[in-house]
Copies of this chain bind each other. A is one copy, B any other.
Amino acid sequence: MSNVRELARQTLEAYRQFLETADTRVKNSVLDTIAVLLGERISSLLDENRKDVLAAKSADMNPALVDRLALDEKSIRGMIRSCAEVAALPDPAGKVTDMTVRPQGFRVGRMRVPIGVIAIIYEARPNVTIESAILCLKSGNGAILRGGTAAFHSNRFLIRIIRDALQAAGINPCLVSFLESRDRQAVDELLLQDDLVHLVIPRGGEGLIRNVVEKSRIPVLKHYKGVCHVYVDRDADLDMASRIILNAKTQRPAVCNALETLLVDAPVAADFLPGILSSLKGKGVEIRGCGETRRLVPQDVQPASEKDWTEEYLNLILSVRVVSGIDEAVRHINTYGSGHTDAIVTRDIRTAQAFINRVDSASVMVNASTRLADGGVYGLGAEI
């Protein structure tokens, strides 16, 4: 058996033992211990991280990436806080729903259960190591972690903390495994172990995700990008629409739930567009508009090309299109969107309901900013 396969086998075995014995109290005590050990070993962790950062700098790594690699006391305090937050969440495992008595006389219910062994492939960001491990633990899953090799020393040290915490609770430490090999082939081999690993979660850019999808024989939980829309309907409260759009576009433009394309219903376009586009420009947003948008607001609107409708700018750029009502808006979103998060602004409850039913996206919102899309905000729990 290869090393990678053996690692996966050990993780699966530890997961099964965990499934048979772990209760919420034990899980939370492990999270508490991880937090304590992070605090106790903070200076050694910073030493290990320094090794990674120095190597990255001498290899001329892009400074933005070095930034995400580097830890300091504040970011480690953030990890400690995450442990407490996840411990405070309700335990998702074991929840029984839909308990009914069938006509034949027996009772049937559904119980929420862990997934099994989850492989997480991510970039050189040590905080993802802790975040992934504690979410897997709390939800009762085993984890095989493979972060970017530039974070090798930091990750190895963090995994040691996690495993020490597991051991202190009498849990097989193989429950959280670290794919140590810096070889890319080790990842490729891991992605073939579909009898031992139940889910792969790639966390990172589109290139990393596509590579995992191409090579994996295991189901992959993914989203490539977030091309999010706000549709301003003819029955919208236009002041509310302005506030939503400014928030969705400018609060944090580089994240996946930021607004990328604004759709405006034709009957309100002439009233609405000049004001909102001028406010956006005031915040430094570049506008790329359809022909009608440019006719209504001639100054400072670049022409949008077909490519703009599918673009995830992650930047202070917004594409704008005037549409002839909800039908065209929905068609635009389902054709060009990414199925992440899309919003309508309207006071008409029937239009809102039609939008919810017809838009094919994970989050569909009414009179709210796309930026609110988040498991925690929804009350659906922390998420990866």
Contact = CB atoms under 8 A, between A and B. Distances in A.
Interface in A291-339: 327, 330-331, 334-335
Interface residues of A, number: 35
A214 B108 CA distance: 35
Contacts of A372: 106
Contacts of A74: none
B220 A213 contact: no
Contacts of A20: 327, 330-331, 334, 358
Given A104-B377, A377-B104, A214 B213 contact: no
Contact of A379 (B94, B100, B335, B377): B100
A108 B352 CA distance: 14
A334 B334 CA distance: 42
- Tell me the dominant secondary structure on chain A's binding face: mixed
A78 interface: no
A379 B16 contact: no
Contacts of A358: 19-20
B357 A94 contact: yes
A360 B372 CA distance: 35
A380 B108 CA distance: 9
Contacts of A334: 16, 19-20
Nearest 9 Cβ contacts at the A-B interface? A20-B358, A108-B378, A219-B219, A16-B334, A102-B379, A19-B360, A213-B217, A106-B368, A20-B330
